[in-house]
Amino acid sequence: AQSVAQPEDQVNVAEGNPLTVKCTYSVSGNPYLFWYVQYPNRGLQFLLKYITGDNLVKGSYGFEAEFNKSQTSFHLKKPSALVSDSALYFCAVRVRRYGNNRLAFGKGNQVVVIP
Amino acid sequence: NAGVTQTPKFQVLKTGQSMTLQCAQDMNHEYMSWYRQDPGMGLRLIHYSVGAGITDQGEVPNGYNVSRSTTEDFPLRLLSAAPSQTSVYFCASSPGTGGSQPQHFGDGTRLSIL
């Protein structure tokens, strides 16, 4: 099945330390990959995407992600975490079904940045 | 600069009642979709639409209907509410239908079925 997996339920990191949120994918063909962030009582907000090209993708709020085809991974990173980065993070992949496109989301990772 | 607007924000229903969750976008996006979000399960696609007059089922369509009579509006109807439909519902839209553009999300409708 075409899907993404986010293996950790929660990621705890001290403020100022590097932040990594893991995502692996399973999809036939070339993947379209996305990261979204959700703050409490809000909808998801787009952070960045990988469609083609450079494996290192830069996005909003200082986040970046590295596409690794051999490891089928698309981990989200931030060099120095802020308390305001505490939120729920979702990885997603485009799925093609009967000629139509839709997104399959992972279950999400809660990130807690400790002051 | 409204983006995707969902109404209502909160709703409590009794088992067996029906209701419609409204979704409107002002960005002229072709693609619209409905998701439900449940703890530990991420977002699951209920129904989606690639343009006015065209809808299709997602992963969890049972108990829900949709229609797309205009580009702007994509309402979700619960036919006969069940406690298993207690969830947070999100509507989203994106330009084009190729899947390369990010989706824009509303702030959700929090629905409780008693």
* pLDDT tens-place values along chain B, 114 residues long: 679 999 999 999 999 999 999 999 999 999 999 999 998 888 999 999 999 999 999 999 999 999 999 999 999 999 999 999 999 999 999 998 778 889 999 999 999 999
Angle at A43 between CA B25 and CA B106, to 5 degrees: 15
Residue A75, chain B, CB below 8 Å: the answer is no
Q: How confident is the model at residue A98 (pLDDT cuts 50, 70, 90)?
A: low
Euclidean distance between CA atoms A54 and A65, whole angstroms: 11
Nearest chain B CA: its distance from A16 CA (Å) = 28
Residue B84 amino acid letter: S
Residue A101 is predicted with a pLDDT of: 77
What's the mean pLDDT when you consider all of chain A?
Answer: 93
A102 contacts B58? CB cut-off 8 A = yes
B92 contacts A43? CB cut-off 8 A = yes
Which tokens is B69 given? 């009579």
Region A65-88: what's the mean pLDDT? 97
User: Would you say A104 and A79 are in contact if contact means Cβ atoms under 8 Å apart?
Assistant: no
Nearest chain B CA: its distance from A86 CA (Å) = 17
User: What are the Cα distances from residue A113, in Å, to A10, A18, A46, A82, A109?
Assistant: 11, 10, 20, 7, 13
Which tokens is A66 given? 């590295």
Query: Residue B4: closest CA among chain A residues belongs to which residue?
Result: A43
Query: Residue A39: closest CA among chain B residues belongs to which residue?
Result: B107
Q: Beta partners for A90?
A: A36
Size of interface A-B (CB pairs under 8 A): 62
Residue B28 is predicted with a pLDDT of: 95
Which tokens is B73 given? 């509006």
A44 contacts B103? CB cut-off 8 A = yes
Residue B111 amino acid letter: L
Nearest chain A CA: its distance from B54 CA (Å) = 11
Q: Beta partners for B38?
A: B42
B108 contacts A42? CB cut-off 8 A = yes
Nearest chain B CA: its distance from A27 CA (Å) = 14
What is the per-residue DSSP string for A26-80?
E-SSS--EEEEEE-TTS-EEEEEEESSS-SEEE-GGG-EEEEETTTTEEEEEESS
Q: How confident is the model at residue A97 (pLDDT cuts 50, 70, 90)?
A: confident
Region A4-18: what's the mean pLDDT? 94
